[in-house]
Chain A
Amino acid sequence: MNEHGQEIDMGFTREVLPACHHICLIYDNEEQRRKIVSEYLAAGLKRGEIVRYFADTTAPEEIRGWLLEMGIESKDDDSFRIIKAEIAYCPSGSLVPQQVLDNAVARYAAAKNVGYSGSRACGEMTWVLRDIPGSERLLEYEVGLNMIHDEFPHVGMCQYDARLFDGAMLFKVLQVHPYMVAQGQVVRNPFYIQPEEFLAKLHKNA
């Protein structure tokens, strides 16, 4: 179980990040994405964390295949589950940010109780492009994740396909992720805006 303040192995980089971090991966080729995502998941499983993957376009077998090639036979048990992204983010059929955040906190609490060292999630965000109800609240959700550090020392990676999201959207996405992966390397995101400031701007523009 990772305690707040500890540093976390990301898997795909030698850089060690704080125990709680929220990363966006903006990618434009599958090979690069696969390498980063699979190593990210593998690092969590190796550390004894409870790992969740929210898949939108990638088949579960393919994801387990990535891990198998790395010598990790992922069991479909509580330690690692691949869940359909739409169900994970929109369990009631629409995105309700607080609902998803509460689920994440509850998941972390349960994992902590049964002895997992931490909680790690990775999500494909393309589901947002399908106009699912509530998807316009995505940034609200992303900001929310950055606001619950204390009770939820969470490690998460959001995948954004630069070939599908427009530049303005990506600019905003960058503003809600403290860390970003650029050219395969984790960097502290200069576009990141503190949640309160971002929310204020968001509400002002709304």
Chain B
Amino acid sequence: MVEANGQQNDQSQGWQKADARILGQILAAQNVVFALPDTIHIAEFYAQTLLSIPGIIGCRVCLGNKSIQVGEMQNSVCGACETLRSMDEKEHILAPVDSNFQCNLMGQSDIRIITIDSYQHHFGFFVSRINNTAAFDVYHPFIHNLSSYVAVILENRLQKDWLQKARDELERKVEDRTHDLMVANEELDAARLAALDSVQEAVEARQRIEQANTDLQREAIERKHVEEALRASEQKLEEAARIAHVGYWERDFVAESITLSDEACQIFGLPLQNRLPKLAEWHVQWLNLIHPEDQPRVTQILTDALAGGPPYNVDYRVVRPDGEVRNIHSYAELIRDELGKPLRMFGTMIDITERKRTEEEIRRLNQELEQRVVERTFQLESANKELEAFAYSVSHDLRAPLRHIDGFIALLQNQTASVLDDQSQHYMDMIAESAKKMGFLIDDLLSFSRMGRNDMVESQVDLNELVREVVQEARPETEGRNIRWEIASLPVVTGDRAMLKVVLTNLISNALKFTRPRQQAEIEIGCVPDQKEEVGVFVRDNGVGFNMDYVDKLFGVFQRLHRADEFEGTGIGLANVRRIISRHGGRTWAESEIDHGTTIYFSLPKSNA
């Protein structure tokens, strides 16, 4: 403890003797050396630093295999120094701290050697040559500290270098390993991709197989459904064929076979065949079944169809084995190969015997009916002619006595005018008037009769011209009346001009007559538009009109729809119109409404137009 204190006091006394500037240099040198990268620079710097310390006249700094000597320093045998030889700076092979290396100058009286040792390695020496031991001893501890500091720096750098080297080595190994791994990865990747491709292919193949299986199953199901539907359809067809008595057959020219449905067998009157004959055999059998009269025609039609002619579509008779004759209708379609050679022929056949019988019956009945119509028409025409002749003769024969009555009544009235009282005169007037009226009726009847009897003289008749004539002739009736005429362009027709003039005269006369109550009569004559097969003409007025309930009577002989005291006339006019138009092959009709006028139409066939 005493020694320690004594040492402390010695040191304290040493520090007190030390130059602060030198101590500062030693301290600063530590900072400077920290910045120096190379050991040679460090050695140089320290050599200079040591030389500036009092008592030192020369120094050598040995760091590894670098040695710097400054000041008064004898040339020593540093080449023999084990320290320098042992260190390979590049490889950082250093002597361990316990190597016990010695500087060659050790033992000399003016030489002070301070080793530069870290806790691990021996780096070298600070070798000082002194000329003042007392001065040097003041700084000796600080130089020793400096050597330790250098050792620490060098050790740190060494460790750092080793660490860096190890790190570089590690990085190199990592790089190598990474490279190896990358190569391996690439190979693995390639293998994986190849495997994936294979797997993918396998998966796709499996999917395709599964899809194919699914499709196959679906197709099988669909096929089953189709077959079921087909069977059902065939059953229905069979049933329908059975119900409709339709038989079918198939000639297979390749297999040389024939197929006959049950219904076909029944139609032919053949027993149901479990085993069908060959086609050639059947053909002979079939020909024998055909009625001999039909056989050439049927075989010709079949031959033509097979040769590419019209389809096989034929009615013929068969004579069943029991002798019964049946009518059948058969239709077939042909299937050919690419070269046009017939492969198969599908046909249907139906027993039309009953239909034929019905048709024959209908035809016979129609013939009978037509005959009866002809006979009846002939009878009616004869009766009509007789009636016409009777009416004509009656009217003609009645006219002479009526003229006598009329004449004698007139004479009687003249002779008895002064002797007869008023009542008797009135009777006489009534007789005379009735006779006149009867005369008109007979005249009308005669004219009507003539309309049916007289021969027609056909020519081209311009209805415009005819209407102008009729209107002109009607002027006495139109004098003093307010009439608005509207006459359209009319066609030229083929007909009896005189008769057609009677038609127009009657119609225009009626229009003038039944518009008499109107302040302004409006009479329109025109054509019915859009008539395809006939020419329609109408005469329309705004007259009193009539009740359409009685339109059927309108064209009757002596039919009147108005009172005689309102509108004159015998009622023969429209009857004449209908008769004339009928004789021209046309028709007549009317539309009317009470107080809203009447339209009378007539039409002529276009052949007459």
**Chain A: residues with CB nearer than 8 A to chain B?**
26-28, 162-163, 165-168, 170-172, 174, 180, 182-183, 187-191
The stretch of B45-53, B75-83, B111-119 that contacts the partner chain: B45-53
Report the nearest B residue to A189, measured CB to CB: B28
Which chain B residues border A165 with CB–CB below 8 Å?
A: 41
A191, B44: Cα distance in complex, Å: 15
Chain A contact surface mostly = mixed
Interchain CB contact under 8 A, A187 and B28:
yes
A190, B23: Cα distance in complex, Å: 8
Interchain CB contact under 8 A, B28 and A190:
yes
Whether, in the assembled complex, B31 has its beta carbon less than 8 Å from a beta carbon of chain A, the answer is yes
A132, B43: Cα distance in complex, Å: 27
Whether, in the assembled complex, B34 has its beta carbon less than 8 Å from a beta carbon of chain A, the answer is yes
- 9 pairs from A and B in contact (CB 8 Å cutoff): A26-B35, A28-B36, A166-B44, A167-B43, A170-B36, A171-B44, A174-B28, A189-B28, A191-B28
A190–chain B nearest beta-carbon distance, Å? 3
Name which of A28, A166, A183 has the most chain B CB atoms within 10 A of its CB.
Answer: A166
Q: Which of A162, A166, A171, A187 contacts B49 (CB under 8 A)?
A: A171
Which chain A residues border B68 with CB–CB below 8 Å?
A: 167
A171, B32: Cα distance in complex, Å: 9
Whether, in the assembled complex, B25 has its beta carbon less than 8 Å from a beta carbon of chain A, the answer is yes
Report the nearest A residue to B39, measured CB to CB: A167
A167, B37: Cα distance in complex, Å: 10
Interchain CB contact under 8 A, A183 and B34:
yes
Q: Which of A163, A182, A188 contacts B32 (CB under 8 A)?
A: A182
Which chain A residues border B36 with CB–CB below 8 Å?
A: 28, 162, 167, 170
Interchain CB contact under 8 A, A180 and B37:
no
Which chain B residues border A171 with CB–CB below 8 Å?
A: 44-45, 48-49
Which chain B residues border A170 with CB–CB below 8 Å?
A: 32, 36, 41, 45
A166, B31: Cα distance in complex, Å: 15
A37, B34: Cα distance in complex, Å: 20
Q: Which 9 A-B pairs have the closest CB atoms?
A: A190-B24, A167-B44, A167-B45, A182-B31, A167-B41, A171-B48, A162-B35, A168-B44, A190-B25
A174, B68: Cα distance in complex, Å: 19
A180, B35: Cα distance in complex, Å: 13
Report the nearest B residue to A160, measured CB to CB: B35
Which chain B residues border A26 with CB–CB below 8 Å?
A: 32, 35
B127–chain A nearest beta-carbon distance, Å? 17
In the complex where A28-B37, A190-B21 touch, is A168 in contact with B31 (Cβ < 8 A)? no
Whether, in the assembled complex, B40 has its beta carbon less than 8 Å from a beta carbon of chain A, the answer is yes
Which chain B residues border A188 with CB–CB below 8 Å?
A: 24
Which chain A residues border B28 with CB–CB below 8 Å?
A: 174, 180, 182, 187, 189-191
In the complex where A168-B47, A171-B49 touch, is A162 in contact with B41 (Cβ < 8 A)? yes
A167, B24: Cα distance in complex, Å: 18
A188, B37: Cα distance in complex, Å: 23
Given contacts A162-B32, A170-B36, 6 further A-B contacts (CB under 8 A): A162-B36, A166-B44, A168-B48, A170-B32, A190-B23, A191-B25
Interchain CB contact under 8 A, A174 and B32:
yes
A94–chain B nearest beta-carbon distance, Å? 27
A176, B131: Cα distance in complex, Å: 27
Whether, in the assembled complex, B42 has its beta carbon less than 8 Å from a beta carbon of chain A, the answer is yes
Which chain A residues border B32 with CB–CB below 8 Å?
A: 26, 162, 170, 174, 180, 182
Whether, in the assembled complex, B27 has its beta carbon less than 8 Å from a beta carbon of chain A, the answer is yes
A34–chain B nearest beta-carbon distance, Å? 15
Interchain CB contact under 8 A, B35 and A167:
no
A179–chain B nearest beta-carbon distance, Å? 11
Interchain CB contact under 8 A, B42 and A167:
yes
A29–chain B nearest beta-carbon distance, Å? 9
B58–chain A nearest beta-carbon distance, Å? 15
